[in-house]
């Protein structure tokens, strides 16, 4: 009888605790008990649903944080040289993200080629040839550029100069490779995997292949515990565990322009831990270096007259005169040259122009005002019809994908476009609604990609972040390179608690 009373007492106490948990005001930090069901997380006796103790997104190698916000996208000065009117100012907002401090350098891209050669060189040499930059991009019929053709990409003297001769498709593949190598090293350092320098063909680490259980690798000593009572005891890391970083990718045009113009530096009172920041800018930069409309150092000291960036002053003048070089660079300069902007980004105006993710159209007025972007091509993983499981990885270690069908898109009613390829959606072609007649009445096609920022061979006008040009995705140039970005997940403020977002006011004092 006594045991029954104690049992009933414990039952009532548990029910009271559960009721209290459901009815009381909880903090923004989740506990180890579900506020939806009352079940414990990470408890194998209750099914083992895992909840990671997430410390927040770490900053990937080479990246710096760019806090998002509202800005005026478009021209920062009169459109006098071109009269194209393809960058009419409009207000948009971008989310926070991370961006490479510098352009991708020759040494970084050679590291990529070296890895491809070790991994696929024996059986798939065409992959190395496909990835190799076009070193002949330097050739011009009436210039002697053969030394640059021969040495610029391969010689140690140019290790930390921006890689050029890389087309848009190659830049995309570099981003994918970089994502996998960064995540692989994270797992190695966390003890989830052991080093394996002898990966070949399909037996290579790929982030998605690993996360979906199609790559095992050499298991480390700290592999994740599998709390599923019917599981194997250990498992691979997945995205819910918080270790894996999002993909490196090319920046959208809006992201690139927002980061380059650096309006954060014109906020008179940015936010601190003690006070909210001002929601106003005192000025609008013309160039990425942020010094009003000046292109050269004006203070009377040893730097007076030096250029803030690497660009061409005029016809036949790419660097000034001997004994007084104005930018100290006749071709691209090393990636850490000149001063960074307010976000810590180097050479956003000058040095080399840079690929963006966007498909080019002469206007961007039809784009959304939040995270504007043209270039979506919706894909999904290929699945086996019998059980809807993912198809096995292919011969180079990637899970196969395919474009989404029109039926799949229309079934959800979540897409404004009814086609998986939305690159030409609402592009102003009223006759066909979807087709640009490339080569007949325009050089703009779905393969035309936006390039931003002036280069070492451009005049000062092109240093403005608002200027825009385009190249075909399969083309390359000695004046065009690229840098990568990564999405910021969670709160837009990097210094905020990783589980927070929005405002919290605390206890208010009555006046």
Q: How would DSSP label each residue in 420-443?
A: SB-TTTT-S-TTTSS---BTTTBS
490 touches 363 (CB < 8 A):
no
Q: How many CB atoms lie within 10 A of CB 474?
A: 11
Reported as a pLDDT band with limits 50, 70 and 90, residue 374 is very high
- Residue 256 CB contacts under 8 Å (≥ 6 apart), including other chains: 354, 356, 452, 453, 465
Give pLDDT tens digits for 473-494. 999 999 999 999 999 999 998 8
* Domains of the chain, start order: 55-190+243-375+423-496 (3.90.1580.10)
CA distance 462 to 164: 18
CA distance 15 to 23: 12
CA distance 369 to 376: 16
Give pLDDT tens digits for 111-120. 999 999 999 9
pLDDT of 328 higher than 90: no
Q: How many CB atoms lie within 10 A of CB 444?
A: 19
Decide: helix, strand or coil at residue 165.
coil
Reported as a pLDDT band with limits 50, 70 and 90, residue 79 is low
Residues β-bridged to residue 353: 480
- What backbone torsions phi and psi does residue 93 show, to the nearest 5 degrees? -130, 145
CA distance 355 to 481: 7
Q: Which residue has better confidence, 435 or 13? A: 435
| pTM of the entire predicted model | 0.88
């Amino acid at each position: 009888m006594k045991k029954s009373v104690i049992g009933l007492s414990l039952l009532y106490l548990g029910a009271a605790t559960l009721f209290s948990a459901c009815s009381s005001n909880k903090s923004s930090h989740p506990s180890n008990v579900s506020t939806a069901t009352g079940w414990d997380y990470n408890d194998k006796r209750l099914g083992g649903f895992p909840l990671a103790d997430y410390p927040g997104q770490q900053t990937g190698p080479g990246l710096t944080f760019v806090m998002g916000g509202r800005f005026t996208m478009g021209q920062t000065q009169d459109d006098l040289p071109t009269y194209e009117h393809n960058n009419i100012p409009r207000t948009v907002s971008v989310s926070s993200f991370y961006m490479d401090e510098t352009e991708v350098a020759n040494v970084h891209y050679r590291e990529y080629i070296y890895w491809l050669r070790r991994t696929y060189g024996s059986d798939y040499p065409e992959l190395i040839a496909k990835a190799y930059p076009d070193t002949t991009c330097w050739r011009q019929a009436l210039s002697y550029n053969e030394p640059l053709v021969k040495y610029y990409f391969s010689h140690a003297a140019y290790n930390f100069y921006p890689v050029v001769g890389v087309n848009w498709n190659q830049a995309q593949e570099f981003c994918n490779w970089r994502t996998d190598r960064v995540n692989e090293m994270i797992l190695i350092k966390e003890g989830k995997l052991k080093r394996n320098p002898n990966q070949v063909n399909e037996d290579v680490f790929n982030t998605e292949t690993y996360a979906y259980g199609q790559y095992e690798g050499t298991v480390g000593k700290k592999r994740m515990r599998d709390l599923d009572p019917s599981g194997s005891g250990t498992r691979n890391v997945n995205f819910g565990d918080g270790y894996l970083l999002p993909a490196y990718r090319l920046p959208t045009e809006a992201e690139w322009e927002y980061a380059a113009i650096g309006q954060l530096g014109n906020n008179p009172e940015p936010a601190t831990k003690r006070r909210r920041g001002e929601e106003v800018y005192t000025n609008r930069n013309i160039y990425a270096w942020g010094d009003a409309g000046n292109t050269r150092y004006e203070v009377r000291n040893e730097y007076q007259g030096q250029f803030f960036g690497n660009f061409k002053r005029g016809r036949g003048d790419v660097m000034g005169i001997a004994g007084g070089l104005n930018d100290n660079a006749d071709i691209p300069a090393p990636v850490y040259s000149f001063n960074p902007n307010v976000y810590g980004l180097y050479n956003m105006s000058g040095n080399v122009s840079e690929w963006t993710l966007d498909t080019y159209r002469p206007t961007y007025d039809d784009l959304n005002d939040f995270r504007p972007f043209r270039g979506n091509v919706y894909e999904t993983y290929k699945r086996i019809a019998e059980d809807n499981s993912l198809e096995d990885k292919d011969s180079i270690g990637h899970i196969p994908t395919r474009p989404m069908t029109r039926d799949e898109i229309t079934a959800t009613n979540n897409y404004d476009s009814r086609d998986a390829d939305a690159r030409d959606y609402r592009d102003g072609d009223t006759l066909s609604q979807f087709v640009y007649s490339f080569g007949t009445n325009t050089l703009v096609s779905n393969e035309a990609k936006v390039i931003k920022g002036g280069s070492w061979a451009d005049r000062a006008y092109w240093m403005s972040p608002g200027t825009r040009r385009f190249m075909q995705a399969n083309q390359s140039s000695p004046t065009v390179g690229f840098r990568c970005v990564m999405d910021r997940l969670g709160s837009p403020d990097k210094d905020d608690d990783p589980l927070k977002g929005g405002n919290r006011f605390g206890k208010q004092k009555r006046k």
